[in-house]
Structure 1
Amino acid sequence: MDRSTKLHFMNRIDDKLSELPWYVTEYIDSRKRKLAHTTLLNYCHDYIIFFDWLVTEQSSAASRKDVGLNQLEILTVREVENFLSFLEYQLGNNKYTINRKLSALKSLFDYLQNKAETQDLKPYIQRNVMAKMEFNSVNETQETIANRIEGKILREDDFEHFRQFVAHDYGIQNKANARISRFHEINRERDTAIVSLILGSGLRLSEVAGINLEDLDVIKGQVRVLRKGNKEQYVYFSKQALWDLESYLKIRESRYGAEKSEHYLFMAAPIGRKGKSRRLTPRSIEKLIEKYAAAYGKPALTVHSLRHSFATRYHLENNDVPRLKNQLGHSSIQTTMIYTHLTDEEMRNAVNNMDKSKSE
């Protein structure tokens, strides 16, 4: 992640912190060297939801920024359970999302009780209710997870069909709408390159958005990315991704008004006459994939499911879990093993085809 991108995330984090209690700012500052900026930003979003709920339910503070440490110290287990129920039934969060939000709160409360100190060397809070809270039990097997992913990925010929749809067919489908057709014509090389890169490498959303020109090695077919835990890694991408990236790079400067000082790979078009070009944000990439997926007839298709699509195809063709683990940037090989279950159906078909060939 380059300096300008880090600065962008830090500004967004600071904006969120300006609306939160002072001790949350202190906690986030203490984690800036250890956690990714995207993680810290997610923490801020989680804390805003929690403190807004606290103000609404307890009405003892005028705003989330005014919630004092004493209010955290007197929270009961029942009240926190009510908050978790609010996440599930009012906000529609699933068990995984609730666990993530609970983890963020546990980390904050642990800091306030066990790490932060007042001037007289006492902890900020004596009682930590979050330490008593248990995570949701999620007992899904790898096969269950694989089955859940199954309907949300591309298979075999779908790779090229979807790529062609982004590159050409979407514009044809919308030729009657001059605005949409023109917008597609401007961005189709860029959007095709993004889709090809994810389908040809399995990169995460944040990794794709954070790529700079100097990160690309077109000779070796590699790109340097910053993975989870701020680990730098060179990741291979496919020849089709290379060809689409080269097509995009040919028009990048002229089409998007890129200046020599702007090194980010994927750019957004300038807004207005005096608007400057800028890095395409992760949310913008999400939205463009959602747009193409809906028009293609697979609205469940997301950036993450394109990553799953790559992993499934890679395992089917190579059957090399350790290398796939490294390619995807997984910390545990157990996570990568999900894709062995996703390819069960293909294996079954392959065996059946062998039987057919013998009978013929």
Structure 2
Amino acid sequence: MDKQMKLHYMNRIDEKLSDLPWFVTEFIDSRKRKLSPTTLLNYCHDYIIFFDWLVAEHFTTASRKDIGLASLETLTIRDVENFLSFLEYKLGNTKLTINRKLSALKSLFDYLQNKAETSDLKPYIQRNVMAKMELNAIKESQETMANRIEGKILREDDFESFRQFVAYDFGEMNKENKRIYNFHQFNRERDTAIISLILGSGLRLSEVAGINLEDIDLNKALVRVIRKGNKEQYVYFSKQALLDIESYLQIRESRYVPDKLESSLFIAAPIGRKGKNRRLTQRSIEKLVEKYAAAFGKPTLTVHSLRHSFATRYHLENNDVPRLRNQLGHSSIQTTMIYTHLTDEEMRKAVNNMDR
């Protein structure tokens, strides 16, 4: 993540913290050196949901910002179980999402009990109810995970069909709607390059959004990305992705008219007369993928499922798990092994075809 993107996230974090209790600000500040800005921003969102629930359920008469430490110490296990039920049944959160929110609360409460100290060297809270809470048990075999993912990815000819749809067919489909048609004509090279890059490299959403012009090596079809854990890596992308990126770069300056200091690869057009170009955010990229996926007739397609699509195709054609692991930036080879299960059906068909 470059300095501009990091500053953007830190500003958003500060906005959220301005309406959260003082001790949350202190906790977030203590984690800025160790956790990514996106993780800290997610923490802030989770805390807002939790403290708003405390207010709505009358655990306190204070506003969200003015909730005190005493309100946290009096919470019971039953109270927290009710909050987790609220997340699941009222907000529709999955067990994985609930685990993430509970982990954020556990980290906060652990800080208040075991790390933060008052002026007389006592912990902020004596009683930590979150320490008694257990995460949801979620056990999925690699085969189960593969089956869950299987219906949400692109297969074989779908790769080029989807790319062609983004580049041309979406515009033709909406020719009668001038606003949508003109917007697509303006952005189609950029959007095609984004889709093609993900399908041709398996990059994560954050990695695509964070690419700068100087990170791209067109001669070697390589892109420099910052992976999880702040690790720098150079990742190969496909020839088709290279062609689409080159097409986008040919019109980037003339069409988007970026400032001289604008280093982001993928940018949005300025809004208004005095508007400035800005880096496409992760959410903007998610939304454009969702838009094309729904129109293409595969509404379950996401940036992440495009990454899965690349990995499945790579494994089917190369059968090289260690190299795939490196390409995807997985810390554990067990994570990569899921794609061996995803391609079982293709392998079966290939063996059967030998009898023809």
TM-score tier, shorter chain, comes to: over 0.9
Cα deviation digits, residues 245-274 of structure 1 (max 9, x gap): 010011111111112100001000111122
Structure 2 residue 314 is the aligned partner of structure 1 residue 314:
yes
Residue 261 of structure 1 corresponds to which residue in structure 2? 261
Q: In 2, distance between residues paired with 1:210 and 1:217? A: 15
The answer as to whether partners of 1:315 and 1:340 remain within 8 angstroms in 2 is yes
The answer as to whether partners of 1:269 and 1:277 remain within 8 angstroms in 2 is yes
Residue 341 of structure 2 corresponds to which residue in structure 1? 341
Residue 170 of structure 2 corresponds to which residue in structure 1? 170
AA partner of residue 43 (structure 1)? Y
Deviation of residue 46 (structure 1)? 0.7
Residue 39 of structure 1 corresponds to which residue in structure 2? 39
Structure 1 vs Structure 2 CA RMSD: 0.9
User: Which secondary structure state, in structure 2, belongs to the residue aligned with residue 164 of structure 1?
Assistant: helix
AA partner of residue 334 (structure 1)? Q
Deviation of residue 59 (structure 1)? 4.3
User: Which secondary structure state, in structure 2, belongs to the residue aligned with residue 58 of structure 1?
Assistant: coil
The answer as to whether partners of 1:174 and 1:180 remain within 8 angstroms in 2 is yes
AA partner of residue 165 (structure 2)? F
Instruction: Please show how residues 152-171 of structure 1 align to structure 2 within 5 Å.
Output: 152-171=152-171
TM-score, normalised to structure 1's length? 0.97
Deviation of residue 62 (structure 1)? 2.7
Q: In 2, distance between residues paired with 1:302 and 1:269? A: 23
User: Which secondary structure state, in structure 2, belongs to the residue aligned with residue 235 of structure 1?
Assistant: strand
The answer as to whether partners of 2:150 and 2:342 remain within 8 angstroms in 1 is yes
The answer as to whether partners of 1:20 and 1:65 remain within 8 angstroms in 2 is yes
Deviation of residue 95 (structure 1)? 0.7
Residue 86 of structure 1 corresponds to which residue in structure 2? 86
Which consecutive residues of structure 1, in runs of 5 or more, have no partner in the other structure? none
Q: In 2, distance between residues paired with 1:293 and 1:59? A: 43
Residue 108 of structure 1 corresponds to which residue in structure 2? 108
Cα deviation digits, residues 157-198 of structure 1 (max 9, x gap): 100000000000000111111111100000000000000000
Residue 242 of structure 1 corresponds to which residue in structure 2? 242
Structure 2 residue 5 is the aligned partner of structure 1 residue 5:
yes
Q: Give the total of aligned pairs.
A: 356
The answer as to whether partners of 1:154 and 1:309 remain within 8 angstroms in 2 is yes
User: Which secondary structure state, in structure 1, belongs to the residue aligned with residue 34 of structure 2?
Assistant: coil
Cα deviation digits, residues 198-255 of structure 1 (max 9, x gap): 0011111111111110111111211111111211111111111111001001111111
AA partner of residue 154 (structure 2)? L
User: Which secondary structure state, in structure 2, belongs to the residue aligned with residue 64 of structure 1?
Assistant: coil
Q: In 2, distance between residues paired with 1:234 and 1:33? A: 24
User: Which secondary structure state, in structure 1, belongs to the residue aligned with residue 126 of structure 2?
Assistant: coil
AA partner of residue 225 (structure 2)? V
Residue 354 of structure 2 corresponds to which residue in structure 1? 354
User: Which secondary structure state, in structure 1, belongs to the residue aligned with residue 57 of structure 2?
Assistant: helix
Residue 121 of structure 1 corresponds to which residue in structure 2? 121
The answer as to whether partners of 1:193 and 1:248 remain within 8 angstroms in 2 is yes
Q: In 1, distance between residues paired with 2:96 and 2:64? A: 25
User: Which secondary structure state, in structure 1, belongs to the residue aligned with residue 224 of structure 2?
Assistant: strand
Q: In 2, distance between residues paired with 1:171 and 1:351? A: 40
Q: In 1, distance between residues paired with 2:250 and 2:80? A: 55
The answer as to whether partners of 2:227 and 2:233 remain within 8 angstroms in 1 is yes
Q: In 2, distance between residues paired with 1:103 and 1:325? A: 27
The answer as to whether partners of 2:222 and 2:234 remain within 8 angstroms in 1 is yes
Cα deviation digits, residues 130-157 of structure 1 (max 9, x gap): 1110011112111111111011000011
Structure 2 residue 266 is the aligned partner of structure 1 residue 287:
no
The answer as to whether partners of 1:36 and 1:228 remain within 8 angstroms in 2 is no
Q: What percentage of residue pairs aligned between the two structures are identical?
A: 81
AA partner of residue 225 (structure 1)? V
User: Which secondary structure state, in structure 2, belongs to the residue aligned with residue 65 of structure 1?
Assistant: coil
AA partner of residue 264 (structure 1)? S
Q: In 2, distance between residues paired with 1:334 and 1:114? A: 34
Residue 22 of structure 2 corresponds to which residue in structure 1? 22
The answer as to whether partners of 1:253 and 1:259 remain within 8 angstroms in 2 is no
Q: In 1, distance between residues paired with 2:213 and 2:273? A: 26
AA partner of residue 321 (structure 2)? V
AA partner of residue 157 (structure 1)? D
User: Which secondary structure state, in structure 1, belongs to the residue aligned with residue 154 of structure 2?
Assistant: coil
Q: In 1, distance between residues paired with 2:131 and 2:50? A: 16
The answer as to whether partners of 2:75 and 2:129 remain within 8 angstroms in 1 is yes
User: Which secondary structure state, in structure 2, belongs to the residue aligned with residue 229 of structure 1?
Assistant: coil
The answer as to whether partners of 2:59 and 2:71 remain within 8 angstroms in 1 is no
Q: In 1, distance between residues paired with 2:63 and 2:224? A: 43
Deviates more, 1:232-241 or 1:57-66: 57-66
Q: In 1, distance between residues paired with 2:103 and 2:32? A: 17
Moved over 4 A (4+): none
Residue 304 of structure 1 corresponds to which residue in structure 2? 304
Q: In 2, distance between residues paired with 1:308 and 1:51? A: 36
Q: In 1, distance between residues paired with 2:225 and 2:259? A: 22
Cα deviation digits, residues 264-305 of structure 1 (max 9, x gap): 010001111221111111111111001000100001111110
Instruction: Please show how residues 174-213 of structure 1 align to structure 2 within 5 Å.
Output: 174-213=174-213
Which consecutive residues of structure 2, in runs of 5 or more, have no partner in the other structure? none
